[in-house]
Structure formats: structure tokens, C-alpha cells
Amino acid sequence: MSIASRERTTVPLATDGPWTVDLPPEGGIGAQVRGLDPRRVDATLAARLLELVYEHKLVVFRDVSLAAPDYIEFARRFGTPQIYFQPNYHHPQHPEIFVSSNVLENGVKVGVAGTGRYWHTDYQFFDDPLPLTMLQPIRLPRTRRETMYIDMQRMWRTLPAELRAKLADRKAVHEAKWRYKIQPTDIDKSITEILAEFGRETPPVRHPSVLRHPVSARELLYVSEGFTVGLDGCGYEEGKAVLAAVFEFRHRPEHVHVHTWNEGDVLLWDNRQLMHRAGDTAKGEQSTSWRIGIYDGLPFYTNRPDGARPAAPPVIPGHGHPSSC
Ligand SMILES: [Fe+2]
């Protein structure tokens, strides 16, 4: 039985208002909030909604449709909206909105088409990854539009022991250059130049392969097919082989939660706890969605007691880092 098809329970949101929350079954992903007007969310209610996000990893707000200013204001209830580092993704009037679209607006290209169609977590390739992502579709294909999620707490708990042993207490290396999308300004540059330029702007970063969540203290597997390119202390081939085995296990259909989009859905999820990937858009269909990345003011992980990002492992003079894993 899929995660999505098990029985849900409905509970009040425990704050005054006409809204209700459907909770997922034990171990499932995603609470659903109905009857909420996002323009009337005060600090108390926002804090309660954030609790739902941290507990159930994903919240679906049903029957919501927000113009850009209200959408940004709703995101601000949960933290600080991000301005994405590449301006070609920006909404023309509202840079907080990252536009994924294959539709010309008055003959002009807006945003970028075909984003995120691989397993990843947003901004994993930066020192400060995105804690939260909010997503609102503006145009849904007439056929089907889906976003898929995998629960990283469950994956770490159920990963085969030999793979857990390879990843525990080890940092992983992440970079985005292999996902870079060519822009008009790249014409006449060689692929080598483009990769070198982008690599200077976004050099590889390291994060623990297993994160500790700042709110729940849960342990979470934090490597992705999209951005993780190696494991510290492993040779190139061995690191790739370990990651391939992890992904083969993790991406099995029984581990995947599918959100099928309906008109009026707005999603908010925890990037520490979920990997995601966008579904394909059928040929000839139009699709536009608005993403807002949100910094929730908490450290991304608390692998050290002081909450700081773990320092690079010490190098013993004359020994260097281990060469195999
Ligand atoms: Fe994404």
C-alpha cells in the first residue's frame, strides 16, 4: 500500500479559526490544511503551522490562490524569503519568486523550464542550504502534474547496515555545475569555460551525510543524486559506488510519496527531511510554478552541540585524509 493511500485523520489546528488539518497516517508524509486564508495568518498560527511542517515534513494548503505580493507575504510568516543567486530564474517584478515555466509571457521568456527533474534538496550545493520550500502552481498541465518526495529520516533508519556504516560520520561533497542550465549569455563560450565559470561561483561544499535536525534531533540522510558528487575520505570510484547503491535502495517506488497537484494547492516542505523531484510535463502542455525558498532562522543541522556547522575533519600532519571508505 502506498503512503498516500492509507487512512488520514482530521484534527483541529488548535488555534481559533475555521480551518482543519488532515494528518497523514503514522510514518506518512504530509499534513493537509483546509479552510485557511493565508492573508490572515498571525505569528501564533504561523508557529503552529511550522510545527506541522517539522513534524509531518510537508504541509499542503488546499484551495488557496495567491497573487505574488500575498504569496511572498505568506512565505514571510515562516522566515526570510531567499533571493535566488541566478537572476534568470526571478519573477520580473518579485525576485523572491523563483519561476519554473515553459510558457512565454507576452512573447517573453520568464524563468526557466524543466527545473528539478532529478532527486535533490534545494540549495544543497551551498554552505547555507534552504530549510523550507514553498511552491504554488500558476498553470497546471491539463493532464497530470506531480512532485515526488522521499522521507530522509525513514531512509536513514532503513538503509542496509553496510551502507549506513559507509556514510555515518562522513561528509559528502555537493556541487551544482552538472545541473547548470545554459543561458543566452553563454553563446560562444566553450563547455569547459562555462563549467569553470560556474564552478568558481559555486565551488563544491561539504555537509555531513547524516544530519541532525535542529527541531526534532532526528537523524536524516542528506545525499542526493542531483548534487552529491563524492564522499570525503573515499576514492572517486568507491564513493560513486556507495552513492549509487544508496540511490538504488532509496529510489525504489515503495519509498516514494507522490503529490498530484490540484488547482489551489500551495505546498510548504522541510528540505532537511525530504528529497524531492519534479514530475515530467507532457509534451505540448503548459506548466508554470512559483517557488519561494525560506530561511527559518535555525541552523540547517546541529551535528555539534553548539549548533555550528561541523568543521572539516582534522588532518594529521604526514597522514592526510583516509583514501578509502
Ligand atoms: Fe527543488
Confidence of residue 80 (pLDDT cuts 50, 70, 90): very high
Confidence of residue 324 (pLDDT cuts 50, 70, 90): low
Q: What is the pLDDT of residue 319?
A: 40
Q: How far is the CA of 12 from the centre of ligand 1 (A)?
A: 30
Q: How far is the CA of 322 from the centre of ligand 1 (A)?
A: 33
Mean pLDDT over the full length of the chain: 88
| Average pLDDT score over residue span 144-163 | 94
Contact between residue 229 and residue 204 where contact means Cβ atoms under 8 Å apart: yes
Q: How far is the CA of 310 from the centre of ligand 1 (A)?
A: 25
CB atoms within 10 A of CB 67: 9
pLDDT, tens digit (0-9, with 9 covering 90-100), for 237-287? 999 999 999 999 999 999 999 999 999 999 999 999 999 999 988 888 889
Q: How far is the CA of 316 from the centre of ligand 1 (A)?
A: 38
Comparing CA positions, the residue from 89, 133, 124 lying closest to residue 110 is 89
Q: Which residue do the cell numbers 511552491 mark?
A: 135
Q: Which residues pair with 21 in a beta bridge?
A: 11, 33
pLDDT, tens digit (0-9, with 9 covering 90-100), for 171-218? 999 999 888 888 888 888 999 998 998 889 889 999 999 999 999 999
Comparing CA positions, the residue from 83, 292, 123 lying closest to residue 207 is 123
| 35: pLDDT strictly greater than 90 | yes
- Element (DSSP H or E) covering residue 20: strand 20-23
pLDDT, tens digit (0-9, with 9 covering 90-100), for 277-294? 999 888 888 899 999 999
Q: How far is the CA of 292 from the centre of ligand 1 (A)?
A: 10
Q: What is the pLDDT of residue 13?
A: 63
Q: How far is the CA of 57 from the centre of ligand 1 (A)?
A: 15
What is the distance between the alpha carbons of residues 75 and 292, in angstroms, rounded to a whole number? 7
